[in-house]
Amino acid sequence: MKYILRFLLIPIIATVFKSVAVSINKNLVIRSATPTGDTTWDNWNGQVHVTPSAIFKPSSLDDLKDIVKLAKQKGKTIRCAAQGHSVSKLSYTQNYLVIVTELTQVTVQKDPKYDWTVTAEAGTPLSKLDDVLRKHDPPLTLDSETVYDSFRVSGVIAVGAHGAKTSSGIMSDQLVSMQIVTASGDVVTFSEEIYKQEFNAAKVNLGLFGIIYSVTFRVQPMYNLRMTDTLYPAKEWIKPQNIKNILEVSDGIEIFYWPFNGFNQGDPSHPDSSKDLIWLINFLLSNPLLTPNITASIWDTRVAIAGNTSTVLQAPDAFHYVPSVESLKVSLWEIGFKIDSDFSNVATEISFIIQTVNFRIIKSTEALLSTAFNHDPKALYFRLDLISAYGNPDWEEFIQLLGQRYFTNKYNAKPHWGKEWDTKPEIISYLSKALKEPIKQFEKVRAKYDPNKMFFDNKSLQDIFRGALGPQS
């Protein structure tokens, strides 16, 4: 069994009315579209504050259909939220906000093609999915997952989230099928067998196809992962051949760099990054330019003390090696770009951002709006991931500087849809160009299922699509 090797690199530079239970309009019978009565919703770190005209928390498929029927009747648009950990404004709406966290049924079934599959309602947390699969006879697991297990299945699928396993790519690529309640109020099943082109659009849909009701993943027998934590001198280790070598003997790598971890707090001279180590575990926050003492302290007391370790864990425990810490609010920014065959651009960029970061390497996907979209199945994507304490005054300036480097023809990098990407206007025209072809293909499918744009209530996405498709769109 290969193992996941994680190196800790640098953390960071850096509703409304309470009725409508029954409403009858010709053929429309709306039984269960009842708003919660809440008037506001905030995402996890408080960065996104929504005051929609109604908030719904459906608990059945019929509820979803009725909410769509009600929206149609009242001329309202709909956006969805799951656990609310996205820090972009994808859930923002002034109309109907549908929060799917009450939809948590999970079933495991034998499958003629995939042996076993699991079907989870949209609001199922990954922790519950893991639990059901672990207790199944035989024990089962997904192939790769995000680090936090509090995320809900529709939330990670809609934005194209991923874990650290290189061969696995984005979680949407483990999907066998998904069911979406579209603008007509019908439940549409998307799968590779039914229509691959539409499935590739639906797999990362940003909530634009309708309300995801359920997703079905192929699963595999439970397996263990050895997680090896190693500390290397950063400047010496970051070479293309070292990166290539480590990937050859790993299923996935995660590299963290903790800025100024080599800073000697007793030495008043200027912080010297040449003494820094890269490491494998954990994330940290703070602005190194302002606070080398803090980052050095965290390194000394939390990371260096653990040293090099190697542990065998069941796969889900390895995926979620950092437990969800809901109270620790951070800002997040992540981009991905295609890796050169000799890994030279990876080594160059790790060296460049050594005053910065965490990275993972994942394979490409044919999911059209994924930031790792590529028809070449062998292409690998570099995921540069920044985390900082929420409210860091230098965060905006820092990610803007990095955006200027990566949102260029040279890298053609794309931002993670669930992290910060919609805060600066320049990103709109850049993404219109960078995603022009995939958006054209995506739009054909989107327009088929939502011609009147019930689910297209997001200004940034509207502007990106308009830029890619022309003003008539």
Ligand X SMILES: Cc1cc2nc3c(=O)[nH]c(=O)nc-3n(C[C@H](O)[C@H](O)[C@H](O)COP(=O)(O)OP(=O)(O)OC[C@H]3O[C@@H](n4cnc5c(N)ncnc54)[C@H](O)[C@@H]3O)c2cc1C
List residues near ligand X by CB under 6 A. 44, 80-86, 90-91, 100, 122, 146-148, 151-152, 154-156, 158-159, 161-162, 206-207, 211-212, 332, 418-419
The rounded distance, in Å, linking the Cα atoms of 323 and 120 is 22
Q: Which C-beta is closer to ligand X: that of 162 or that of 203? A: 162
- A 10 A CB-CB count for 179 gives 21
Q: Any idea of the CA torsion for 229, 169, 202, 64, to the nearest 10 degrees?
A: -20
Query: Minimum CB separation from ligand X for residue 472, in Å?
Result: 25
Q: Taking the complex as a whole, how short is the minimal distance between the CB of residue 24 and ligand X, in angstroms?
A: 27
Helix (H) or strand (E) holding 126: helix 126-135
Q: State the minimum distance, in angstroms, from the CB of residue 265 to ligand X.
A: 28
Contact 356, 12 (CB under 8 A): yes
Q: How far is the CB of 151 from ligand X (least distance, A)?
A: 4
Dist. CA 125–CA 231, nearest whole Å: 33
Instruction: Pick the closer one to ligand X by CB: 18 or 448.
Output: 448
Nearer to ligand X, 117 or 388 (CB): 388
The CB-nearest residue to ligand X is 155
Cβ contact 120:131 at 8 Å: no
Q: Which is nearer to ligand X, 33 or 296 (CB)?
A: 33
Q: How far apart are CA 247 and CA 62, in angstroms?
A: 47
Q: Closer to ligand X at the Cβ: 276 or 422?
A: 422
Q: Which spans in 364-435 are helix H?
A: 395-406, 426-434
In single-letter form, the type of residue at position 78 comes to I
CB atoms within 10 A of CB 377: 10
Q: Which is nearer to ligand X, 218 or 320 (CB)?
A: 320
Question: In the bound complex, what is the minimum distance in angstroms from residue 81's beta carbon to ligand X?
Answer: 4
Which is nearest to 81 in space by CA: 73, 69, 89? 89
3 vs 44 by CB, closer to ligand X: 44
CB of 384 to ligand X, least distance (A): 12
Q: At what angle do helices 436-449 and 459-469 cross, to 10 degrees?
A: 110
CB atoms within 10 A of CB 134: 15
Residue 98 phi, psi (nearest 5) = -105, 115
CA-to-CA distance for 452 and 436, rounded, in angstroms?
A: 21
To ligand X, the closest distance from the beta carbon of 465 in angstroms equals 15
Residue 85 or 414 with smaller CB distance to ligand X: 85
Diameter of the chain measured on Cα atoms: 79
Coil, helix or strand at residue 79: strand
Q: Nearest approach, Cβ of 454 to ligand X (angstroms)?
A: 12
